[in-house]
């Protein structure tokens, strides 16, 4: 009887090999052959799962985003029984900054995705789909805060949520570029949240 192969686990192993390359020398110019070598499998075996670099990059990005979601959700669940919307927002947004190895790797994969997606509408579809969901989640937290009288109702908007996402994205980029430390990025985020909830 042939051994049953867990295809999803195999795909994740390949994605993790791509992460390791993203975390060290970067994905620019990295070929499927390079990823196969890093994963310790043949190119043919890798191509059984992924036909192109973009297909693999997209899977690896979704996998890292799923893990990030899960990590942030666990942090929120570890808070007090009923965390305030402000605490949920801060946990979510600070969880997106590259403050530890896992989130740093996620940001490096996202940087590689960004550089390719600006030229590829299939890749862009991922952000076009994912960011509005994140924006809706943040807007919902802002509305909950306004209902509890913790936020001025005119700030519980989608634009304010987009501002938060963009701010965290830019702050992350400048941490990866060594322009600022993770702590400095967190301080600027807290500065903004403090003003938002003032």
| 100 binding its own copies? (CB under 8 A) | no
**Rounded Cα distance, 187 and 198, in Å:** 16
CA nearest 109: which of 37, 182, 16, 187? 16
Q: In this structure, how many other beta carbons lie within 10 angstroms of the beta carbon of residue 62?
A: 15
| 186 binding its own copies? (CB under 8 A) | no
CB of residue 41 to its own copies, shortest distance in Å: 22
Closer by beta carbon to its own copies, 8 or else 120:
120
Closer by beta carbon to its own copies, 31 or else 70:
31
| 133 binding its own copies? (CB under 8 A) | no
**Rounded Cα distance, 50 and 193, in Å:** 41
Instruction: For Cα atoms 14, 18, 19, give the angle at the middle one, nearest 5 degrees.
Output: 115
Among the listed residues 165, 182, 193, 197, the single contact to its own copies using CB under 8 A: 165
- Radius of gyration, CA atoms only, the chain: 19
| 76 binding its own copies? (CB under 8 A) | no
Eight-class DSSP state of 97: S
| 117 binding its own copies? (CB under 8 A) | yes
Helix, strand, or coil (residue 149): coil
**Interface positions, 12-51, toward its own copies (CB under 8 A):** 24-29
Closer by beta carbon to its own copies, 88 or else 189:
189
Stretches 1-9, 36-44, 77-85, 156-164: which one binds its own copies (CB under 8 A)? 156-164
Whole-number Cα distances in Å, 82 to 8, 88, 112, 153: 35, 10, 37, 21
Binding site for its own copies (CB under 8 A): 24-29, 108, 111-112, 114-121, 124, 127-128, 131-132, 159-160, 162-163, 165-171, 173-174, 176-180, 184-185, 187-188, 191-192, 195
């Amino acid at each position: 009887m042939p051994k049953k192969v867990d295809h999803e686990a195999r795909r994740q192993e390949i994605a993790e090999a791509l992460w390791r390359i993203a975390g060290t020398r970067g994905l620019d110019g990295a070929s499927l052959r390079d990823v196969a070598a890093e994963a310790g499998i043949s190119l043919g075996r890798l191509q059984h799962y992924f036909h192109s670099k973009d297909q693999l990059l997209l899977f690896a990005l979704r996998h890292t985003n799923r893990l990030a979601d899960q990590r942030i959700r666990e942090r929120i669940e570890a808070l007090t029984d009923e965390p305030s919307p402000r605490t949920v927002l801060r946990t979510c947004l600070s969880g997106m900054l590259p403050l530890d190895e896992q989130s740093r790797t996620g940001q490096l994969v996202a940087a590689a995705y960004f550089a390719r997606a600006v030229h590829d509408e299939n890749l862009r579809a991922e952000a076009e789909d994912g960011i509005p969901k994140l924006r809706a989640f943040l807007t919902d937290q802002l509305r909950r805060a306004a209902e509890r009288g913790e936020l001025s109702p005119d700030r519980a908007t989608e634009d304010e949520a987009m501002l938060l996402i963009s701010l965290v994205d830019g702050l992350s980029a400048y941490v990866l570029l060594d322009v600022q430390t993770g702590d400095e990025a967190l301080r600027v985020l807290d500065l903004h949240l403090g003003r938002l909830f003032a």
